[in-house]
Amino acid sequence: MTNIILFGPPGSGKGTQAKFLAERFGLLHVSTGDLFRYEMGNNTPLGQEAKSYIEKGELVPDSVTIGMLKNKLDANPDVKGVIFDGFPRTIAQAAALDELLAASSAEVDGIISLEVEEAEIVQRLLLRGKDSGRADDQDESIIRNRISVYHKETAPVFNFYDAKGKGHKIDGMGTIEDIAARLNTTVSAL
C-alpha cells in the first residue's frame, strides 16, 4: 500500500495532479473538501457535527476530520494506497494521520510538495476565480493572505515528514503534463 500526501500552497495544482496520480497508480484520492461536502450533504453524524462548527464560523476540530478520513478509508479497504489532498494542514493533524494509518499497519510513504512561485499562484487563483465563482479566488489580497497562512501554519508539515526521510519537492511550474510527468517519476520511486 502506497500512501502519499500531495502538498503545496493554494493554487499549486494539488487537486488537478491528485486526480491524475490516483488514476495512474490506482490510488484512492481523498480530498478533505470532498469529505466535508459528502458527510454534510448526506447529513451523517460527523457531517452534522462539522456543520455545527462551520455555521458558527469556527474551525472543525481535528477529531471530526480524522473521523471522516477513517470512514473513507474503512469504506475502501482494498485500495492500493491513498493520495491525501488538502490534509494534513498542521503537525497535530499529521500526527493524527500517522496514528490512524498505524492502526492498519500502514504509514505515509511520502509527502510531495509542489513548489510554485508566488506570482504564479496568484495568477492561477485569479484565473480559477473567474470560472469557479469563489470569492477567495477573486481578491489578490485574500489570495496573498492565504499563501502567508500556508507558509506559517501548514508548511511545517513538510518538515515533519522530511525529518523522517519522506519529503520530496517537485517543480510545480510548467504545463499540467510536465508537472504530472515529474510527479509520476517521484511516485514510481516510492
Please confirm, yes or no, whether 37 is among the known catalytic residues: no
Identify the domain containing residue 51 by its residue range: 2-189
What was the pLDDT predicted at 7? 93
Given 19, 51, 70, 89, which residue is catalytic? 89
Given 70, 128, 144, 169, which residue is catalytic? 128
pTM, 2 dp: 0.86
d(CA 77, CA 156): 30
Count CB neighbours of 134 within 10 A. 11
Please confirm, yes or no, whether 182 is among the known catalytic residues: no
What was the pLDDT predicted at 44? 92
What was the pLDDT predicted at 110? 96
What was the pLDDT predicted at 108? 96
What was the pLDDT predicted at 10? 86
d(CA 106, CA 83): 13
What was the pLDDT predicted at 34? 85
Given 134, 144, 164, 166, which residue is catalytic? 134
What Å distances lie between residue 31 and 5, 25, 38, 118, 145, CA to CA? 10, 17, 11, 23, 22
Please confirm, yes or no, whether 14 is among the known catalytic residues: yes
What was the pLDDT predicted at 131? 83
CATH number for the domain that contains residue 182: 3.40.50.300
Q: How many domains does the chain have?
A: 1
d(CA 11, CA 116): 9
d(CA 159, CA 117): 19
Please confirm, yes or no, whether 89 is among the known catalytic residues: yes
Given 14, 72, 166, 182, which residue is catalytic? 14
pLDDT by position in tens, the chain (length 190): 899 999 999 889 998 999 999 999 999 999 988 888 889 899 999 999 988 887 777 778 889 999 999 999 999 988 999 999 988 989 999 999 999 999 989 999 999 999 999 999 999 888 888 887 777 778 888 888 888 888 888 899 999 999 999 999 999 999 999 999 999 999 999 8
CB burial of 135-169 (b: ≥16 within 10 Å; e: otherwise) equals eebeeeeebeebbeebeeebeebbebbeeeebbbe
Given 51, 70, 144, 146, which residue is catalytic? 146
Please confirm, yes or no, whether 144 is among the known catalytic residues: no
